[in-house]
Structure 1
């Protein structure tokens, strides 16, 4: 689920919802991990050895899946239904043409309650990811959704969004393969050389392990050190970085257990009011 690490934007590690919360308690152990939970995406604390941006997974839904195998699209992206993790908001599988568009860039704006976040999606870096993201934008999957996780570790500084359920466990009801970056520089903070720099401005996908991309993504507001297991599919514009800086400056919402957390809900609640794709007119 990594993507290339250039000054291209990347996504932060998603956070595990529900059952994953027990793991969040051991932040030092999981430091640096971005996890998507069972039904959502979880983000663990960055640590000396760990680094996961995860999506939490929810307990299996009581769905009778014996009747038929999960549907999979027939193109190269092979978007596959996840009956055990139903969509947080109903949406069909993305189109999957024989030739996935793999050239050029596409602009998307996330209108948030803290200002606009402009994104430039890179089709060459991650064609299947961009195709899915644009599909979800077009189906208004991201409209009126929150960004449920903010991290402020020295090695993981991301805002995680894209779960309509707001739990970190939600997704689109399908998953697809990683398109990982291969050219990211080594993180200077990691003596093992395993972590890479996911630079400020990177737009990346959160996941729950290999090839589990769905709808959760992360925006990197300060250079972060992650294993290259998260697909990078675009970058954030200057105005978007200013918006991210305002959100990050608010910090993580305190809890009964931790008056000054570095991983959790943003203290300034973040809502994506509308996601819009810009079409170029020639």
Structure 2
């Protein structure tokens, strides 16, 4: 009994029962050549990367504020990158360059779809593909890669990337209506407030009236911060609606495949 008490005392004094963040040191941020659209602010640290807890991202747009809960336990390298870039004011005074009826894509300082920091990093926490329907309707005409699609529910925050592997940078997309995209995008957070703001932006549409393009009204990020506090999740959540045929998937640096988020850098 005395030995057990001594062990407990040692554990308590050394922080064994504390909430000290678990950390990981295996994030790989690969340098890219400086060029058009590249904003070099260095690379995130790779030592002592936090791998647990909760972070809050706050995005101040001209149309309103969006808040999100980031999950380092599922996407530690992505959250580490966002925390680093936010600390460098990388996203401040940037314009979101793309909107569809389901997503808003932001994070490119050049607002062209080809910009980002001077590094790239691999995917993590990609969703699982949806199981094919057991009894598809006779008139269904799924796309050739439908079996690789995943559902990105309303409220998802995920990274956009190019067709090249390991090409995540700073571009991300905010999902305000359920949508299907290839199961190839890192999911790193959940929107906790401001879905109504995003849905109004989506309803306003694109500058050229197309289903996928530059927002009709400028959507500018005045500031984007990441803090170690848990977000307020008391706001009501709008009723989701599903988009089974996404309009261009999010990406960065390659002509996006129809219906997916892509970036051009």
Q: Residue 42 of structure 2 corresponds to which residue in structure 1?
A: 92
| 2:225 maps to 1:280 | no
Distance in 2 (CA, whole Å) between partners of 1:187 and 1:196 is: 11
- Tell which has more relative contact order, 1 or 2 (C-alpha 8 A, sep 6+): 1
Q: Residue 197 of structure 1 corresponds to which residue in structure 2?
A: 151
Specify the structure having the higher radius of gyration (Cα): 2
Distance in 2 (CA, whole Å) between partners of 1:93 and 1:114 is: 31
Runs of 4+ in 1 over 3 A off after TM superposition: 84-88, 182-192
Compute the displacement of 1:119 (Å).
Answer: 1.3
TM-score norm. by structure 1 comes to 0.65
| 2:111 maps to 1:166 | yes
Cα 1:279–1:85 change in 2 (3 A) is same
Structure 1 residue runs of 5 or longer lacking an equivalent are 1-74, 255-259
Aligned length, in residue pairs: 197
SS in 2 for 1:132: helix
TM-score norm. by structure 2 comes to 0.69
Tell me the alpha carbon deviations over residues 152-198 of structure 1, each in whole angstroms, 9 at most, x when there is no partner. 3xxxx211000001111001010011103244645878584321101
Compute the displacement of 1:280 (Å).
Answer: 3.4
Distance in 2 (CA, whole Å) between partners of 1:241 and 1:168 is: 23
Maintained 8 Å contact 1:186/1:197: no
The one of 86, 99, 120 aligned to 2:69: 120
Distance in 1 (CA, whole Å) between partners of 2:56 and 2:127 is: 24
Structure 2 residue runs of 5 or longer lacking an equivalent are 1-24, 134-139, 231-265
Compute the displacement of 1:252 (Å).
Answer: 1.0
Q: Residue 217 of structure 1 corresponds to which residue in structure 2?
A: 172
Tell me the alpha carbon deviations over residues 15-34 of structure 1, each in whole angstroms, 9 at most, x when there is no partner. xxxxxxxxxxxxxxxxxxxx
SS in 2 for 1:242: helix
Q: CA RMSD in A?
A: 2.2
| 1:228-243 alignment, distance < 5 Å | 228-237=183-192, 239-243=193-197
SS in 1 for 2:67: strand
Compute the displacement of 1:248 (Å).
Answer: 0.7
Compute the displacement of 1:90 (Å).
Answer: 3.0
Cα 1:253–1:186 change in 2 (3 A) is farther
Distance in 1 (CA, whole Å) between partners of 2:37 and 2:118 is: 4
Cα 1:184–1:200 change in 2 (3 A) is farther
